[in-house]
Amino acid sequence: MIDFAGRTAFVTGGANGVGIGLVRALLAQGCKVAIADIREDHIERALKTLDNQEAMGVKVNVADREDMARAADEVEAKFGPVTLLFNNAGVNLFQPIEESSWSDWDWLMGVNLHGPINGCMTFAPRMIEHGKGGYIVNTASMAGWLASGSPGIYNTTKFAVRGLSESLRYSLAPKGIGVSCVCPGLVKSLIYASDDIRPKELMDGAKPVNTEGVKQLAGMHEVGMEPDVIAERILQGMRENQAYIFPMPDHKEELAEYFQEVLGDYRDYPQDPGYDERVKIESFRRERYKEAREAARNAI
């Protein structure tokens, strides 16, 4: 079971929403915590609310791998090796794929997918080198399981974060590093105001901000789960070394229904040429996959 006390944590999107909840929860566990965010004013505001001096702010653009490496160096120079990584930063566009621009794709893919990739590629090798074990938590979403017509790009990124997390979980387990993918639903956060931090260079083809829609989304997120509640559930999921952390019970029945629909799309086709040989290969893969899942569960 992961021991939090004395470890250094790096939390992206750490100044608001789930991020600030994680910051508070980790400080309470005796961690040193870096609040990594793209908004300096939000970082400063967050730091002023914390009595614990074992917190620092670091401005970072998670979509920029060089900036991520620079932030990692800055944090480790002050707090020592980062062994807890929370790839939590995220943005959203509430529109369908066919109405989106290339810049829309570049923006959301940069933050929501390349951000976790950059975090993992920056910190995982360092965790291995430090030899102190560790843990990585990637924030996906229930939108990474249950897609809709809108938000199309967001769904795409969150489905990909699931694949990233699961593969990394199996490769890092033998090295004493755990990986979980957290899949929240509606959270009290500022993700509805993502347009406020959209880079100017990625505005080409952007639709005008729907101010009325933003107001409606703000109201919905106001009744979302409190960041401190979801953060405690994430830490509990880490203690239990869960592959997937579902902090809300809201979607369990819907997800079960969806799985049944997926299984219903299978057909009992007649055996085709090469079937027996293919089944042998797949049975080998299936056994290795089962072994990987079991090893990852028991490694941390």
Span 275-298, pLDDT tens digits:
999 999 999 999 999 999 999 999
CA distances from 43 to 46, 58, 278 (A): 5, 8, 54
Domain locations in the chain as residue ranges: 8-299
Sheet strand arrangement including 134-139:
55-59, 32-37, 8-12, 82-87, 134-139, 177-182, 244-245
Residue 87 phi/psi, 5-degree rounding, is -85, 85
Name the CATH code of domain 8-299 (choices 3.40.1190.20, 3.40.50.1100, 3.40.50.720, 3.30.70.60): 3.40.50.720
Cis check for the bond before 151: say yes or no (omega within 30 of 0): yes
Span 125-150, pLDDT tens digits:
999 999 999 999 999 999 999 999 99
Average pLDDT over residues 102-126: 98
pLDDT of residue 17: 93
Q: How far, in Å, CA of 29 to CA of 142, rounded?
A: 27
Q: How far, in Å, CA of 96 to CA of 77, rounded?
A: 43
Average pLDDT over residues 85-101: 96
100 has pLDDT over 90: yes
Other C-beta atoms lying within 10 Å of the C-beta of residue 255: 15
Rg (CA), the chain: 20
CA 239 to chain centre: 17
pLDDT of residue 96: 95
Mean pLDDT of the chain: 94
Tell me which residue of 88, 76, 30 sits closest to 54, measured CA to CA. 30
Q: Is 237 left (phi over 0), alpha (psi -120 to 50) or beta?
A: alpha
The helix or strand, by DSSP H or E, that contains position 136, with its residue range, turns out to be strand 134-139
Average pLDDT over residues 176-196: 89
pLDDT of residue 146: 97
Using N-to-C axis directions, what is the helix angle for 17-28 and 227-239, rounded to 10°? 60
Residue 182's DSSP bridge partners are 139, 245
Residues 6 or more apart in contact with residue 43 via CB below 8 angstroms: 14, 15, 35, 37, 57, 58, 59
Q: How far, in Å, CA of 35 to CA of 13, rounded?
A: 8
pLDDT of residue 220: 66
Span 196-232, pLDDT tens digits:
899 999 999 999 977 777 667 667 667 789 999 999 9
Average pLDDT over residues 232-237: 98
Q: For residues 235-253, b (16+ Cβ closer than 10 Å) or e, as one string?
A: bebbeebbbbbbbbeebee
pLDDT of residue 145: 97
The band of 56, judged by pLDDT with boundaries at 50, 70 and 90, is: very high
The residue to which tokens 């369908």 are assigned: 96
- Torsion sign over Cα 176, 177, 181, 184: positive
The band of 240, judged by pLDDT with boundaries at 50, 70 and 90, is: very high
Just list the catalytic residues. 154
Q: How far, in Å, CA of 40 to CA of 48, rounded?
A: 13
pTM of the model: 0.95
- Quick check: helix, strand or coil at residue 71? helix
Span 18-28, pLDDT tens digits:
999 999 999 99
